Structure formats: structure tokens, C-alpha cells
Structure 1
Amino acid sequence: MNHMHHHNQLDQKFLTKIAILDSRQRQQLIAPEDLISQMPIQKNHTLLDVGAGSGFFTIPMAASTSGKVYAMDPDGRMLSVIADKAKEKGLTNIEPIQDYLEHLSISNNSVDFVMASLILHEVSSLPKALATLFAVLKPGGHLFCLEYEQDDLIIEGPPMAIRIGSAELEKALTLMGFDMVRKTKINDAIYTVLAVKKAQ
């Protein structure tokens, strides 16, 4: 009996998570379509959304290319939410990958653009995660990161201790062999970084 109750709580938590991920607030903060349209994505590009969640960025990414869009998330339920949204919109180019970033198994030098939205602060090792993304990107391919700034005045968002400040991320990307393209503040709490894997 107890077990059932626990399961229901889990489902409720999951549904709440989706609701939050999809909430209007996030839409107002950054309209995903607008953000994607500003990205260096071409019609035939292969894209990867790491920590795809409920498909906030995956769906507009899939609409912006005829190429394949990998949607990676460790939670299979999130991936089925994305599949439902894709079906609804008639998008057939999304390939789900149920895994953690650290175990990502996509061929090296095969992806043109990677979206890493609010995921890097959750990985066990930032250098390892960035090395994985660097490897799968084609030379000249771009990585776009969206993260919370490490600033004690900002309460919303993940705990301060696990946040990755923009200076730290910039340093880590540069060490990995990325070139910085641009850094943008979306609001007080959130910044974005666009980086490119140098063409050999």
C-alpha cells in the first residue's frame, strides 16, 4: 500500500516539473523560437539538445533543420513528452537518447550545434562533460550554454554551490579548445555563452 502512495507522489512531482519547465514564465524569459533563430543553425545541420527535459528547445530546434536532432535526457518520461509534442507538430527528425551527458554515445565530429540549457551545473565533472561535447561536435560546430550566474544576490535557481559562473565556464571552454563567440546576460540570474570548436 505504502509503495503505491509513494509512486503517486513521484508522478505528481514529475508533472509539476513538466509544468514548471514549460511554464509561461520561461516562455517570457526567453522565447525558445527567438533564441534558436539567432543561432548559427543551417537547414541541413545535425543538432543535439543535452538535458532536453520536456523539449522546450528540442521542438524549435527540430523545426529549424531538416537534419537529425538528438534529444538527450536521462529521464525516459521526459523523452516521451518530447515525442508527443513532436507528433503534435508533425516533426519526425527527433531521435531520443536516454542517457546522462557523461555517457553520451554519438559519433565524434558528427554534430553541428549543441544546446546545453541549465544542464552543466548538474554534471559530475564539468571538464569531462565539455570534453564529451567537444568530441561530438564537428570542427567549426557551435556549443550554446545557458546557465545561472554565480551571484549571491540571486536567490532563484539552483543552490549557489553547484552553479557555474560565467567566468568559470568561459575558462573551462577555452581550456577545452573552444573559442568564445559571445556571452549574453538574459536577465540578472541567467547568462548564455556561445562557443565554437576551432576548425582544424
Structure 2
Amino acid sequence: MTNHRFDPTKLNKLDNPERRKAFPPEKILSLLQIGRNDVVLDLGAGPGYFALPAASLTTGKVFALDVEPKMLEMLEQKVNQYSLKNIHLLKGNIEDIPMENNQADRIIASLVLHEVESLPKAVQEIDRVLKPEGRLLCLELEKKPVEQVPARRYRIHSDEMKKVLEEHGFHIVHFTFPTEQHYMIVAQK
């Protein structure tokens, strides 16, 4: 894929009223069917857009993984501000998740898989840390063949994403386009 990484100076893009209107985190998280004791892993957690509301849905651990220390610092401030005891910050990348096998019941990958070097390697790691019957929520920007804007090269076509997930043993249980530019997949191991 790419080694493109999100610029932390543009943090306001990750959590603003327009994004919350288009992608209400609580509504999206309901698709994962997070159980009261489930362990959740938020890949590329950033400032906690999904990790923070996920922490209120479970008494289990919510692991917030990000490669960027500034993102983790900002999330740590929020965790302390809200006195959240079940969020655990992890520094690392998706192709080498610093967790044991079969540890997470639910995994969130929101607008982050297009940033990995190897999508198959990332999905292999997701499969490794996800428990049997676990669920993955993937939200990404659709790649359209006619687009020539440089930023579009960092997108993954939904057909490619579904193919890679299925090649790694995932079953697609939900697929939708919440906006014209975004697709959402819920896949079960």
C-alpha cells in the first residue's frame, strides 16, 4: 500500500461536528455489537473518536493503538480528563500489533488501513489478535478509477478490501456506503 501517515497538525479533521454528523461514533459502534465484557482494539485511534465511546460500552479493556506519539498524548489527556480506567494506550503499527494472539473481541479500523505498507499483512495481524467469532469494523474512503487527485492514491477500493478480508477467512456481515465517498464493512472471523 503506502507509508503515508496522517499529519497530526490536522487533528481538527479527526473530530469535528461535520464528521460526527456523517459518522456518529455511537451509531457506527452499534454495528460491532460490543458486549459488556468485550475487549476492543481501536487501530489508529488518534484522539479517541471511537475508543472513548467504546470504553462506555464495555467493562473490558479498550486498547487504543497509534503509531504517532502526539495522537497518544492527546488521547491520554482525554482519558485522564474523563477518568477512564479501561482504555490502554499502545504505541505501534498495524502490521505488527503489540498484542497476544486472540486477545480482542472487536476491532475498529477507521480511515487507517489505507496508510499501511501492506494491506494483506495488516489484515493478517488483525486476524491474529482477533478472537474466533470476533468482529472487525472497517471504514475507508472508496477509490474510484477516474480520480486523479494525488490524495486518492491512498485509497483502497471496496472490492479489494472485501477480497483481502475474505482471503484471510473473514465473512462480510455488513457492507454499506454511509456517504458517497466512504464505505463501511463489518466482517466476522
TM-score (norm 2): 0.91
CA distance in 2, matches of 1:24, 1:153: 30
Secondary structure of the residue that 1:159 maps to in structure 2? helix
Summarize the alignment of residues 98-109 of structure 1 with structure 2, pairs less than 5 Å apart: 98-109=91-102
The amino acid that maps onto 2:159 is: A
CA distance in 2, matches of 1:18, 1:77: 10
Report deviation, 1:153: 6.3
| Structure whose residues are more often helix by fraction | 1
Q: Over the residues paired in the alignment, what is the CA RMSD in angstroms? A: 1.9
Report deviation, 1:16: 4.0
1:184 is matched with 176
The amino acid that maps onto 1:192 is: M
CA contact (8 A) 1:41 1:64 kept: yes
Aligned partner (choices 31, 46, 55) of residue 48 of structure 2: 55
Query: How many aligned positions are there?
Result: 184
CA contact (8 A) 1:144 1:195 kept: yes
CA distance in 2, matches of 1:62, 1:45: 10
Secondary structure of the residue that 2:78 maps to in structure 1? helix
CA distance in 2, matches of 1:14, 1:173: 27
1:64 is matched with 57
CA distance in 2, matches of 1:163, 1:75: 20
Displacement over 3 Å in runs of 4+: 13-16, 152-156
Report deviation, 1:160: 2.2
Report deviation, 1:117: 0.4
CA contact (8 A) 2:42 2:50 kept: yes
2:18 is matched with 25
TM-score (norm 1): 0.86
87-96 or 14-23, which moves further after superposition? 14-23
Summarize the alignment of residues 66-105 of structure 1 with structure 2, pairs less than 5 Å apart: 66-105=59-98
Secondary structure of the residue that 1:72 maps to in structure 2? strand
Q: 5+ unaligned residues in a row in structure 1: which ranges?
A: 1-12
Report deviation, 1:103: 1.8
Secondary structure of the residue that 1:53 maps to in structure 2? coil
